[in-house]
Structures are given as C-alpha cells and as structure tokens.
Amino acid sequence: MIMKRKLVKQGLSALTITIPSSWVRKNNLKAGDEVDVLERDTSLTISKEGRTELNEITVDLTGLLPRLADRFMARAYQKGYDRIILKSEDPDLLQAVKNKVPELMGYEIINSMKNQVEVQILSAQLDLDFDTLLRRALLILKDMLQTCHDAWKAGDKKSLDGIFYQDYDVNKFMYFCLRQLNTSQKLMTFGRSILYYLIETLEDLGDELKALGKVLAQLPPHKAVLGILNKLIEMYQLSYEFFYTPDRKKAKQAYMLSKEISELIDAQLSNTNLLMVKALISLEFSNRIIYHLTTMRLDTLKGLGGQ
C-alpha cells in the first residue's frame, strides 16, 4: 500500500517524514530505536534493523530465446536483484539461466524444479573490492590482446581458442562492478554513469577479443596485421596508464596512436580476404573501445576540471 507523506523542514537543512503508526506497532518500535534506510535510485526503503527486505522479482520466460534468458540474468544481477524466480515450461530457457549463474558472483541456485528455477544472492554485502576487481578485469583484457598477438604469430590455435575462458572471467568481474555501481551507496566514483558505460563497453571488448581469437585461429599469421595488433597492445597499455594516472602527454599519444591504427586497418581492408576483413573489423572496434579508457578520464586533467 502506497501512502503519501509531506516533507517537514527541521532545522536549517534537514527534512523529516512521519512513519505510519500501524507499521511502528507491527514491528514493536519505539522512539530512540534505529531502523535501516536503504537508498536505491529514487526510492528509500525503511526496514527494522537487521531485517532488510530482499529486492526480488518473479519472471515468466515463456516466449524468449535462450540467449535472451542469458541476457536477462546478467541485467537482473547488474540492477541489484537479490532473489529471482524464473518460470518456463521450456527446459532450454531454464538451462540457459543455470548456465549463466556461475558468471554472477554471489548468485546461487537455491531451488530447481521442472518448470522453475530460484536464484538468490547468498551475501548481501559481498566481501569484494570494486577497484581491485575492475583493475583485475582490465589486466585480463590486456592479456587477451597479448595472447591474440603471440599465439597467432606462433600458430598456437589452442591458446587462441582459450581466450574464451579469459572472457568468462572478464564477464564475472565486470558484472560485479556494474552491480556495485547500481546498489552501493558507499561507492563514490569520478562519475557513476560514465563509469557504468565504460565498464559495459569494456565487457564488450572482452567479447570482441574472444571473437577475434576465434577468427585468427583460422588464418595464417600476417606480418602487417600482427603489426596492427602490436600497436593495439601499445594503445591499451597507454590508455590503461592514463585511466589510473591522467596525463596530457598520454592523452595526446593515445589519440595519435588510435588514429594511426585506424589508418593502418583501412589500408589493409582494401586488399584482403573475408576472414581477414572480419579480423580487421574486430581490431578497429577494439581500438575504439580502448580509446574510451582515455576519453572517459579527460575531465580529471588539471585545467580541464580536475583537481
């Protein structure tokens, strides 16, 4: 039941509201007792101390495809749902949900029936550090790029195919970071919405490098394209350093290097086969994403709004 309450000014800047007396009696509260207040976007949830309500949802997956069920689980996790009940008579849809859960840190399947799966976060406050996991994901992406170059140059198809498993770890860490941005009130960043977009984009980079590895495994090494990969590795390292330590010189270098990579890719696209075209498109897309690591932090430079 929704009840309207007026905000009452108290003191110079504080605003207060009254709590329904029926709720106070029901929870055996009195003046001086403490309650938990959970802030989530435009809403506040007040609960008796130690009894915070779960943020839950029940969804009928009927009519979706397994890939869409996979995407739904990722989004529900990122948005901060603590408990999800998923229903469907299609076993493929429920299997897609079960396959996705291991990528979602803290989520566990607590009940699985023929036409229903129940997933819940086992710890409301996962003892994990946002900054540590973000940095770890960024370093895995760097290693994926390096593997694309080194394994392709050596004709190591097994390592190129193995990039798939590195992307799995990138997903886990990035999904957790996105969930934290949506749910943690303690997490103060340089720009929550901008960082959210950047992490989403970098998760896409993992997918792109996974696809690139698969394509390169079908191609013989190519000297010019290996050179482009080397440039991209240099670009990533430069952008990674800028992300954590913004610097005018690095910003200019990143821009010039990104432009050079695009020009090299354009030159190769004019005379190559279809598979190589796919590889070059992946390289160009990756180049654009990596450059975001620089542009997203330009505002922190001294003289441009930074401190």
Task: Report the pLDDT value the prediction gives residue 51, as an integer from 0 to 100.
Answer: 44
Q: Both 87 and 140 in a single domain?
A: no
How many domains are there within the chain?
3
Q: Both 89 and 215 in a single domain?
A: no
Q: What is the CATH number of the domain that holds 86?
A: 3.30.110.20
Give the residue ranges of the chain where pLDDT is below 50: 51-52, 301-307
Q: Both 224 and 175 in a single domain?
A: yes
pLDDT in tens, 16-50: 888 887 777 777 778 877 777 766 555 677 776 55
Q: Which domain holds residue 80?
A: 56-121
3-state DSSP assignment of residue 28: coil
Helices then strands, each counted (H, E), the chain:
10, 8
3-state DSSP assignment of residue 270: coil
Q: What is the CATH number of the domain that holds 30?
A: 2.10.260
Q: Both 234 and 139 in a single domain?
A: yes
| 203 within domain boundaries | yes
| 67 within domain boundaries | yes
- Computed over every residue of the chain, the mean pLDDT equals 85
Q: Both 23 and 74 in a single domain?
A: no
Q: Both 101 and 76 in a single domain?
A: yes
- Please, which residues have CB within 8 angstroms of residue 155's CB and are 6 or more apart in sequence? 220, 221
Instruction: Render 67-127 in DSSP notation, one character per residue.
Output: HHHHHHHHHHHHHT-SEEEEE-S-HHHHHHHHHHGGGSTTEEEEEEETTEEEEEES-SS-S
Q: What is the CATH number of the domain that holds 191?
A: 1.20.58.220
| 2 within domain boundaries | no
Task: Report the pLDDT value the prediction gives residue 35, as an integer from 0 to 100.
Answer: 76
The model carries a pTM of 0.76
Q: Both 115 and 207 in a single domain?
A: no
Do 289 and 208 contact (CB within 8 A), yes or no? yes
Q: Which of 96, 121, 146 is the last residue of a domain?
A: 121
Angle (nearest 5°) at CA 165 between 84 and 189? 60
Q: Both 109 and 151 in a single domain?
A: no
pLDDT in tens, 250-304: 889 999 999 999 999 988 887 778 888 888 888 988 888 888 777 766 555 444 4
Task: Report the pLDDT value the prediction gives residue 301, as an integer from 0 to 100.
Answer: 45
